[in-house]
């Protein structure tokens, strides 16, 4: 009887200590593109979808395919680093106007937040958008932008607005995990 009680007590104590060892990327799986030199984590239960034009890679939730993450790579001619493109806010407005909600589209987007972070040798702009489509559908996007070797890398993760509160923390972890090598 005493031995069983001690084992149970040890199990409870260990669960408290080991609970702190869970990483912020729990529930996320790694993806690495060695050819294009980038990597990030994506949510467990998401599947890769083949894309012919546009995105370099695309993953979506198998249950809710409106939740997705993609990476797009573009060429830069005269830019050597991200700050050459402007501040996070200026880049955020350009991304909004040229990619997320161009004037000819039926989308409206608000730049909710723009910030910068440095990881190893690269600067990253982190952008957050609230988007409304022409049919009234609302979604939320988090975007990470960086420049490396005359290429512009953009990671975008998106969910319907009604799911945002449930996925926001996990999506932040995905955006924070994005790195170019």
Q: Quick check: is 75 in a domain?
A: yes
Q: Quick check: is 110 in a domain?
A: yes
Please state the length of the chain.
181
Residue in this structure with the two tokens 């529930």, named with its chain if needed: 27
Question: Which pLDDT tens digit goes with each residue over 112-156?
Answer: 999 999 988 899 999 999 999 999 999 999 999 999 989 999 999
pLDDT mean over 98-119: 95
Q: Quick check: is 145 in a domain?
A: yes
Mean pLDDT across the chain, nearest whole number?
A: 87
What pTM did the predictor assign?
A: 0.83
CATH of the domain at 120: 3.40.1000.10
Q: Quick check: is 1 in a domain?
A: no
Q: Quick check: is 173 in a domain?
A: yes
């Amino acid at each position: 009887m005493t031995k069983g009680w001690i084992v149970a007590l040890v199990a409870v104590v260990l669960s408290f200590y080991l609970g702190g060892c869970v990483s912020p990327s729990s529930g996320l799986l790694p993806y690495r593109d060695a050819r294009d030199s980038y990597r990030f984590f994506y949510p467990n239960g998401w599947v890769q979808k083949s894309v012919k034009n546009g995105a370099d890679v695309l993953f979506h939730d198998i249950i809710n395919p409106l939740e997705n993450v993609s990476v797009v790579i573009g060429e830069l001619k005269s830019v050597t680093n991200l700050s050459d493109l402007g501040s996070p806010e200026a880049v955020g407005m350009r991304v909004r106007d040229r990619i997320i909600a161009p004037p000819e589209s039926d989308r409206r987007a608000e730049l909710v937040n723009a910030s910068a972070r440095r990881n190893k040798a690269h600067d990253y702009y982190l952008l957050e958008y609230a988007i409304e489509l022409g049919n009234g559908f609302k979604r939320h996007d988090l975007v990470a932008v960086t420049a490396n070797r005359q290429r512009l890398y953009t990671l975008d993760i998106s969910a319907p607005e009604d799911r945002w509160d449930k996925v926001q923390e996990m999506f932040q972890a995905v955006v924070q995990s994005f790195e170019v090598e």
